[in-house]
């Protein structure tokens, strides 16, 4: 089978023929139909999972999100042959289980992959565009609480996580301020943004401070460095407000000193979140992010697009 692999950290990922993995006890084998490309993939290539002094099990097949069909089941597996499933590999177990979803087949157990049945109303490309970004968005909106009437500033609003956070927050009656490139403003408004700021031509902190002199209730920063968050973004949070980042840029002690709370968020995927995403997407509670589809043979193009850091919505690969 074809798989998109690296043999060492820093290596350019490439397609390679590998043998089809067979399921052990508690595992299923999945014929992968679609996968999403996420920034974590190029962070892993750069060495994000490397542990000093520990061997890493190369070749490593990239990829976290997937939708596919169960084609074999080991004893005690939670899913049956023939079921259509979707979900995401748990980043915390990737170093022990180096068989990612950028392959024609993969294996999954309850410990290594959060999975749910893919309902009929959710096509495979849409399902692959949900797990990591949609799951992170669900968990972040829980942590941020976001009661009706609050203001939420989202920096990096037009990417995968932003596409879902905007919708979930707006559905709660939150006033969402989206920071995105100007060409993505219509997209952000369509997802529920009430205000938009172009980070390429405007000073984000000045615009927010002018419109919300007492500060915003909550901030989610998906892109900025620790310096930018500390100097420009965190001061926009009102006293007692909340700040979350997904890029380990927050200083929780500094927010605590202002009576607020901050988190460097690390999403722990669950089967329940996957089932909730399926329910939301099929009931109309969540629109799947704008999705650009690539063939497996063009995996390197999709990977390069993600590495650029300027993706709108989601990038999905199909193996068919
Ligand atoms: N810790 C966790 O648990 C966790 C979970 C999920 C994701 N993440 C991380 O969170 C980050 C966001 O994930 P994602 O999937 O949403 O990434 P993504 O799809 O690549 O989206 C990033 C978005 O930010 C925009 N952007 C780039 N520079 C910007 C700037 N200076 N100001 C405002 N917007 C800017 C980009 O488009 P434009 O420049 O065209 O506007 C793009 O839409 C990634 O680093 C990812 O690895 C972490």
Residue 277, C-beta contacts closer than 8 angstroms, at least 6 positions apart: 116, 130, 131, 134, 135, 138, 286
Q: For ligand 1, say whether the CB of 286 is within 6 Å of any of its atoms.
A: no
Report which of 97, 102, 119 is spatially closest to residue 33, judged by C-alpha positions: 102
Structure tokens at 28: 């299923």
Contact between 155 and 165 (Cβ < 8 Å): no
Ligand 1 centroid to residue 47 C-alpha, Å: 19
Q: For ligand 1, say whether the CB of 38 is within 6 Å of any of its atoms.
A: yes
pLDDT per position in the chain (320 positions), as tens? 999 999 999 999 999 999 999 999 999 999 999 999 999 999 999 999 888 888 889 999 999 999 999 999 999 999 999 999 999 999 989 888 889 999 999 999 999 999 999 999 999 999 999 999 999 999 999 999 999 999 999 999 999 999 999 999 999 999 999 999 999 999 999 999 999 999 999 999 999 999 999 999 999 999 999 999 999 999 999 999 999 999 999 999 989 998 999 999 999 999 999 999 999 999 999 999 999 999 988 999 999 999 999 999 999 999 87
Q: For ligand 1, say whether the CB of 314 is within 6 Å of any of its atoms.
A: no
Ligand 1 centroid to residue 219 C-alpha, Å: 14
- Per-residue pLDDT of 14-67, as tens digits, reads 999 999 999 999 999 999 999 999 999 999 999 998 888 888 899 999 999 999
Q: What is the per-residue pLDDT for 111?
A: 95
Closest atom, ligand 1, to C-alpha of 91: 3
Q: For ligand 1, say whether the CB of 221 is within 6 Å of any of its atoms.
A: no
Closest atom, ligand 1, to C-alpha of 248: 1
Nearest residue by C-alpha to atom 46 in ligand 1: 39
Q: For ligand 1, say whether the CB of 182 is within 6 Å of any of its atoms.
A: no
**Rounded CA separation 70/85 (Å):** 7
Q: What is the per-residue pLDDT for 319?
A: 87
Task: Give all domains of the chain, ordered by start, each with its CATH number.
Answer: 2-129+290-318 (3.90.180.10), 133-264 (3.90.180.10)
Determine the 3-state secondary structure of 320 from DSSP: coil
Q: What is the per-residue pLDDT for 296?
A: 86
Q: For ligand 1, say whether the CB of 293 is within 6 Å of any of its atoms.
A: no
Q: For ligand 1, say whether the CB of 91 is within 6 Å of any of its atoms.
A: no
Q: For ligand 1, say whether the CB of 199 is within 6 Å of any of its atoms.
A: yes
Q: What is the per-residue pLDDT for 126?
A: 98
Q: What is the per-residue pLDDT for 97?
A: 85
Q: What is the per-residue pLDDT for 73?
A: 98
C-alpha dist (Å) from residue 79 to 72, 82, 150, 244: 9, 9, 41, 35
Residue 25, burial from CB neighbour count under 10 angstroms (0-12, 13-18, 19+): exposed
Backbone torsion region of residue 284, taken as left when φ is above 0, otherwise alpha when ψ lies between -120 and 50, otherwise beta: left
Torsion angle of C-alpha atoms 224, 228, 230, 232, degrees rounded to 10: -110
Q: For ligand 1, say whether the CB of 151 is within 6 Å of any of its atoms.
A: no
Q: For ligand 1, say whether the CB of 167 is within 6 Å of any of its atoms.
A: no
Global confidence as pTM = 0.98
Ligand 1 test: best mutation among 246, 290, 308, most atoms within 8 Å of CB? 246
Q: For ligand 1, say whether the CB of 179 is within 6 Å of any of its atoms.
A: yes
- Per-residue pLDDT of 84-125, as tens digits, reads 999 999 998 988 888 999 999 999 999 999 999 999 999 999
Ligand 1 centroid to residue 306 C-alpha, Å: 10
**Rounded CA separation 67/32 (Å):** 6
Q: What is the per-residue pLDDT for 94?
A: 87
DSSP 314: E
Ligand 1 centroid to residue 235 C-alpha, Å: 21
C-beta neighbour count of 264 within 10 angstroms: 15
């Amino acid at each position: 089978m074809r798989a998109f692999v690296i043999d060492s950290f820093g290596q350019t990922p490439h397609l390679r023929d590998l043998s089809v993995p067979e399921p052990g006890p508690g595992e299923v084998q999945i014929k992968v139909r679609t996968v999403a490309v996420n920034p974590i993939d190029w962070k892993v290539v750069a060495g994000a999972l490397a542990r000093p002094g520990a061997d890493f099990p190369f070749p490593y097949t990239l990829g976290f999100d997937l939708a596919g069909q169960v084609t074999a089941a080991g004893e005690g597996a939670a899913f049956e042959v023939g079921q259509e499933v979707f979900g995401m590999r748990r980043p915390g177990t990737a170093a022990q289980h180096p068989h990612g979803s950028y392959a024609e087949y993969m294996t999954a157990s309850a410990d290594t992959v959060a999975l749910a049945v893919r309902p009929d109303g959710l096509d495979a490309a849409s399902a692959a565009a949900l797990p990591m970004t949609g799951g992170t968005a669900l968990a972040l909106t829980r942590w941020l609480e976001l009661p009706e009437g609050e203001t939420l500033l989202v920096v990096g609003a037009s990417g995968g996580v932003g596409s879902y956070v905007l919708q979930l927050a707006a559905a709660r009656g939150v006033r969402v301020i989206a920071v995105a490139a100007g060409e993505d403003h219509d997209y952000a408004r369509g997802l529920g943004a009430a205000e938009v700021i172009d980070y390429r031509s405007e000073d984000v902190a000045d615009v927010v401070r002018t419109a919300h002199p007492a500060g915003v209730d909550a901030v989610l920063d998906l892109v900025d460095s620790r310096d930018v968050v500390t100097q420009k973004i965190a001061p926009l949070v009102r006293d007692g407000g909340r700040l979350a980042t997904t890029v380990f840029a927050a200083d929780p002690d500094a927010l605590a000193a202002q009576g607020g709370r901050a988190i460097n968020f690390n999403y722990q995927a669950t089967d329940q979140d996957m089932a909730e995403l399926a329910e939301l997407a099929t009931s109309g509670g969540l629109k799947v992010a704008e999705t650009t589809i690539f063939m497996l043979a063009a995996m390197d193009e999709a990977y390069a697009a993600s590495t650029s850091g300027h993706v709108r919505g989601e990038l999905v690969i199909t193996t068919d």
